[in-house]
A and B are shown apart, each in its own frame.
Chain A
Amino acid sequence: MAEFEPVLLRRIGKPNSAALETYRADGGYRALEKALNSMQPVDVVNTVKNSGLRGRGGAGFPTGLKWTFLPKDHPGPIYLCVNADESEPCTFNNRVLMEQDPHQVLEGIILSSYAIRARTAYLYIRYEYGPATRAMQKAIDEAYASNLLGQNILGKDFHLDVFIHRGAGAYICGEETGLIESLEGKRAWPRIKPPFPAVEGAFRKPTIVNNIETMACVTHILDRGLEWFRSLGVPPDPNNPRDAGSFGPKLYNLSGHVNRPGTYEAPMGITVRELIDKYGGGVWQGRKAKGAIPGGISMGVITEAEFDMPLDFNGPGKVGCLGLGTGAVTVFDETTSIVDVLANICRFFAHESCGQCTPCREGTGWMDKIADRIKHGQGRREDLDILAEVGNRIGIMPGTTICGLADGAGWPVKLAVKKFRAEFEAFIRDGKKSTVKSLALVH
Chain B
Amino acid sequence: MSVLSEQLKEKIKSYLPRYPSKQAVTLPALHLVQDELRCVPLEAIREIADLLDLSPAEVHDTMSFYGFFRDEKHPLGKTRLWVCRSLACMLRGGEEVLGEICHKLQVTPGGTSADGKITVEFAECIGACEGAPCVLLNDAARMNVTLDKVDDLLNELRQ
Q: Does A83 belong to the interface (CB within 8 Å)?
A: no
Closest chain-A Cβ to B79's Cβ sits at a distance in Å of 13
Contact B125 A166 (CB under 8 A): no
Q: Does B123 belong to the interface (CB within 8 Å)?
A: yes
Complex Cα distance A351/B125, Å? Answer: 12
Closest chain-B Cβ to A221's Cβ sits at a distance in Å of 26
Closest chain-B Cβ to A341's Cβ sits at a distance in Å of 7
Stretch in A22-30, A61-69, A432-440 touching the partner: A432-440
Contact B102 A293 (CB under 8 A): no
- Give the residue name and chain of the B residue nearest to A133 (CB): B139
Contact B27 A166 (CB under 8 A): yes
Closest chain-B Cβ to A296's Cβ sits at a distance in Å of 9
Given contacts A87-B124, A171-B124, A341-B87, contact A439 B99 (CB under 8 A): yes
Q: How many residues from A make CB contacts under 8 Å with B?
A: 63
Choose one: B27, B86, B102, B124; the contact of A165 (CB below 8 Å): B27
Closest chain-A Cβ to B55's Cβ sits at a distance in Å of 13
Render B88-115 as a binary contact track against A, CB cut-off 8 A, 1 for contact. 1011100110111011000011000000
Stretch in B5-13, B62-70, B149-157 touching the partner: B62-70
Closest chain-A Cβ to B123's Cβ sits at a distance in Å of 7
Contact B21 A184 (CB under 8 A): yes
Complex Cα distance A301/B126, Å? Answer: 21
Given contacts A128-B136, A128-B141, A130-B138, contact A203 B21 (CB under 8 A): yes
Complex Cα distance A332/B108, Å? Answer: 28
Complex Cα distance A134/B66, Å? Answer: 22
Q: Does B33 belong to the interface (CB within 8 Å)?
A: no
Closest chain-A Cβ to B58's Cβ sits at a distance in Å of 8
Choose one: B91, B102, B109, B130; the contact of A92 (CB below 8 Å): B130
Contact B95 A437 (CB under 8 A): yes
Q: Does A129 belong to the interface (CB within 8 Å)?
A: yes
Complex Cα distance A191/B86, Å? Answer: 27
Q: Does A185 belong to the interface (CB within 8 Å)?
A: yes
Given contacts A92-B130, A165-B28, contact A185 B87 (CB under 8 A): no
Contact A256 B24 (CB under 8 A): no
Contact B86 A185 (CB under 8 A): no
Render A96-134 as a binary contact track against B, CB cut-off 8 A, 1 for contact. 000000000000000000000000000000111111010
Q: Does B119 belong to the interface (CB within 8 Å)?
A: no
Q: Does A250 belong to the interface (CB within 8 Å)?
A: no
The interface centre, meaning the residue of B20, B23, B26, B100 with most chain A CB atoms within 10 A of its CB, is B20
Contact B130 A261 (CB under 8 A): yes
Contact B128 A257 (CB under 8 A): no
Q: Does B1 belong to the interface (CB within 8 Å)?
A: no
Contact B90 A92 (CB under 8 A): no
Complex Cα distance A250/B125, Å? Answer: 21
Contact A256 B87 (CB under 8 A): yes
Contact A255 B96 (CB under 8 A): no
Complex Cα distance A165/B27, Å? Answer: 8
Number of residue pairs across A and B with beta carbons under 8 Å?
168
Closest chain-A Cβ to B119's Cβ sits at a distance in Å of 14
Residues from chain B with a CB closer than 8 A to the CB of A171 are 124
Q: Does A443 belong to the interface (CB within 8 Å)?
A: yes
Contact A128 B87 (CB under 8 A): no
The interface centre, meaning the residue of A89, A185, A187 with most chain B CB atoms within 10 A of its CB, is A185
Contact B21 A168 (CB under 8 A): no
Q: Does B31 belong to the interface (CB within 8 Å)?
A: yes
Contact A168 B30 (CB under 8 A): yes
Contact B130 A255 (CB under 8 A): yes
Residues from chain B with a CB closer than 8 A to the CB of A129 are 127, 139
Residues from chain A with a CB closer than 8 A to the CB of B3 are none
Q: Does A155 belong to the interface (CB within 8 Å)?
A: no
Choose one: B24, B122, B132; the contact of A185 (CB below 8 Å): B24
Residues from chain A with a CB closer than 8 A to the CB of B19 are 163, 203
Complex Cα distance A351/B62, Å? Answer: 18
Closest chain-A Cβ to B47's Cβ sits at a distance in Å of 16
Q: Does A246 belong to the interface (CB within 8 Å)?
A: no
Choose one: B90, B98, B132; the contact of A340 (CB below 8 Å): B90
Contact A261 B132 (CB under 8 A): yes
Contact A330 B95 (CB under 8 A): no
Residues from chain A with a CB closer than 8 A to the CB of B88 are 89-90, 255-256, 261, 330
Q: Does B81 belong to the interface (CB within 8 Å)?
A: no
Closest chain-B Cβ to A181's Cβ sits at a distance in Å of 9
Contact B130 A330 (CB under 8 A): no
Contact B69 A442 (CB under 8 A): no
Complex Cα distance A332/B62, Å? Answer: 38
Choose one: A182, A203, A332, A344; the contact of B27 (CB below 8 Å): A182
Complex Cα distance A185/B92, Å? Answer: 37
Complex Cα distance A442/B30, Å? Answer: 35
Residues of A at the B interface (CB closer than 8 Å) are 77, 86-92, 94-95, 126-131, 133, 161, 163, 165-171, 182-188, 203, 253-257, 261-263, 293, 297, 328, 330, 332, 336, 340-341, 344-345, 347-348, 351-352, 436-439, 441-443
Closest 3 CB pairs of A and B: A130-B139, A185-B26, A187-B65
Q: Please name 6 further chain A to chain B contacts, defined as beta carbons within 8 Å, in addition to the given A166-B27, A436-B96, A438-B95, sorted by A numbering.
A: A129-B127, A166-B28, A167-B27, A187-B61, A348-B86, A439-B99
27 contacts between A and B (CB under 8 A): A87-B127, A89-B88, A89-B124, A91-B129, A92-B127, A92-B129, A128-B139, A129-B139, A131-B140, A161-B18, A168-B66, A170-B65, A170-B68, A184-B23, A184-B24, A185-B21, A185-B26, A186-B62, A203-B19, A253-B129, A256-B92, A263-B130, A330-B129, A332-B91, A437-B96, A438-B95, A439-B108
